[in-house]
Chain A
Amino acid sequence: MKNALLIFKKEIREIIKNKNIWLPIFIITIMFSIAMPLIFSLISGSIFEDEDTVNFMNKVFGNVDNPEMVFINFIIKQFLIFLLMIPAMVPSLIAPASVLMEKENNTLEPLLATPIKTRELLFGKALTAMIPAFVISTANFLILTLIFDIVMYNKMGYIPLPTAEWLVVAFILSPILSFLLTMISIIVSSKSTDIRSAQGIGSVIILPIYLIIGLQVAGFFLINITYLLLACLVFFAFCPILLRIAVRIFDRENILTKWKMKA
């Protein structure tokens, strides 16, 4: 554990210096957690004054007591699914950088010649991707919650967040998703010599999340607690499989003889 933490500490220091990693994360945070809820909150007044929107809400939510509140909950669900991109995206940016940096500098062999165990090396790399993913996701959820609650309380005297779905996404689904994407990114990085291509493959892997976003925005379904718990179960089932593959890939001999290294 001590050795894994040493790796984690060193890599975090390097990631902080690498703006190619933190800049996209920073932009996504500003966009999804601050800009989008603020814009929605600012224009929500005019939405409820627009005749077409009011007609639409009456048609869809006509049989409920407060259609405006139901509409806001609907919008929150849309935001919630957008926020799933963060725990998926952060590991797919950090993990390939962490592995490829070792390849570029040819540091794997001297590192493996120390008393470190390969599982500690894998654990250290996984922590490097997962802890920032968890911290950034949680921060995003908190920022979004705060902005939504303040604006909605001022406008409607109502605090919409957090909901049960919100808590499941923030504290169960996001960490599972981060773990999966970390393992996939590490597996992909072992076969790659170029950080851009590894991150490119990582961005392809998060395509299913875009698909879910698209399907929900298109109205094919609306996430609810059942769907979310089901997703948690399915994703969780993949965790041990991917962990096993990653552990096998992180075998000392495998790293030195089968990983694609930079010439």
Chain B
Amino acid sequence: MISVENLTKEFETVTAVKDISFDIDESEIFGFLGPNGAGKTTTIRMLSTLIGATSGKITIDGRDPAKDGSYIRSMIGLLTESPGLYEKISAYANLDYFSSFYDIPDEKRKKNIEKYLKMFGLWERREDLAGTYSKGMKQKLALCRALIHKPKILFLDEPTAGLDPASAHMVRNFIESLKQENITVFLCTHNLAEASSLSDRVCFIKQKIIRIATLSELQSHEKNKRVEIVFKQDASRYRNLLESIPGINSLNIMDNTASVFVENPESDNPGIIRRLINNDIDILYVNEIKASLEDIYLELIKDEETR
């Protein structure tokens, strides 16, 4: 559905995006992650035909954005970082205005407006000025706007920013449900838990692509696996012993828990546990902790910075 080859964007003296390539399949949720200034918004803008690329090639639904910009914009939905609503007109008028630029029959357009306003719980307040809405309500209204013309591809820049937990949960469930409607989602977020729960694949970017993989692929390629050992007594008493055990690459201690980092838990764990028991240490339990997306993200960004 989306194909990007060696895409670069330069702004005068700054290179915002450098030589990135990826493919996104139809109805895939593609998480796009990176620190501030990594080039996420620039990439979204290039993919949604808002700005051109300095070099490289983009294909969206088989079309070239440089030639078929208007067609591509008619089949994508964009949720920008800030909701971008006309605050002095009603919520309904906002949706009516934006949706009127798409080639949809009036009857259908009105039905879609009603459908999404009801879905996001805004129907009762449809005649209120958008400026009187809370931050979360504005975000929901902006999401309605991005969906109103039933796009094939949805670009979401921080979709749950500013939402209360219940609304954020509802939006996440909704994004997940888009897969059933064959909508491709390009999800740009800082919320790593959200990215890991929703995305089929994640892409880490910092000007150039650091890694693209599924969460399980990322976890299996982690250099150091974390093993949590919970002792009956304060774990700091065993610091020297733990540091002397071969296989433990690093160590964190908090209260009666020691988090040890090993390369291969299957071969390293038995030796570690044996040494602790031989020293008459009472162990309550041992648990291998799968790396979260946050751990992986931080490690990748750190590696990239030290390179």
Interface pair B89/A10, CB less than 8 Å apart: yes
Which residues, 193 to 209 on B, are CB-close (under 8 Å) to A?
none
Interface pair B51/A253, CB less than 8 Å apart: yes
Which residues, 107 to 158 on A, are CB-close (under 8 Å) to B?
107-117
Quick one: which of A10, A17, A110 contacts B142, CB cutoff 8 A? Answer: A110
Interface pair A105/B86, CB less than 8 Å apart: yes
Interface pair A115/B86, CB less than 8 Å apart: no
Chain B residues in 8 Å Cβ range of A252: 49-51
Size bin of chain A's contact surface = 20 to 34
Interface pair A114/B45, CB less than 8 Å apart: no
Chain A residues in 8 Å Cβ range of B74: 115
Known: A13-B89, A113-B73, A115-B74. A253 touches B98 (CB 8 A): no
CA separation between A109 and B81, bound complex, in Å?
10
Known: A6-B97, A117-B70. A14 touches B102 (CB 8 A): no
B219 contacts the other chain (CB 8 A): no
Which residues, 181 to 204 on A, are CB-close (under 8 Å) to B?
none
Quick one: which of B49, B71, B82 contacts A106, CB cutoff 8 A? Answer: B82
Size bin of chain B's contact surface = 20 to 34
Interface of A is mostly: helix
A63 contacts the other chain (CB 8 A): no
Interface pair A110/B80, CB less than 8 Å apart: yes
B78 contacts the other chain (CB 8 A): yes
CA separation between A116 and B46, bound complex, in Å?
17
Known: A6-B97, A115-B73. A105 touches B51 (CB 8 A): no
**Can you name the residue of chain B whose Cβ is closest to the Cβ of A3?**
B101
CA separation between A108 and B71, bound complex, in Å?
19
Q: Can you pick out 18 interface pairs between chain A and chain B where the beta carbons lie within 8 Å of each other?
A: A13-B89, A14-B88, A17-B88, A101-B86, A105-B86, A107-B86, A109-B78, A113-B76, A113-B80, A114-B98, A114-B101, A114-B102, A115-B71, A253-B50, A253-B51, A256-B45, A256-B50, A257-B51
Q: Closest approach, in angstroms, between the C-beta of B189 and any C-beta of chain A?
A: 18
CA separation between A14 and B97, bound complex, in Å?
13
B145 contacts the other chain (CB 8 A): yes
Interface pair A113/B48, CB less than 8 Å apart: yes
B52 contacts the other chain (CB 8 A): yes
User: Which 5 A-B residue pairs are closest in the complex by CB-CB distance?
Assistant: A114-B101, A113-B78, A106-B84, A115-B74, A253-B51
B264 contacts the other chain (CB 8 A): no
Known: A6-B100, A13-B89, A115-B73. A106 touches B50 (CB 8 A): no
B234 contacts the other chain (CB 8 A): no
**Can you name the residue of chain B whose Cβ is closest to the Cβ of A108?**
B84
Q: Closest approach, in angstroms, between the C-beta of A92 and any C-beta of chain B?
A: 21
Chain A residues in 8 Å Cβ range of B48: 113
Interface pair A256/B88, CB less than 8 Å apart: no
A1-32 interface code vs B (CB 8 A; 1 in, 0 out): 00100100010011001000000000000000
Chain A residues in 8 Å Cβ range of B127: none
B76-116 interface code vs A (CB 8 A; 1 in, 0 out): 10101011111111000100011011110000000000000
**Can you name the residue of chain B whose Cβ is closest to the Cβ of A116?**
B101
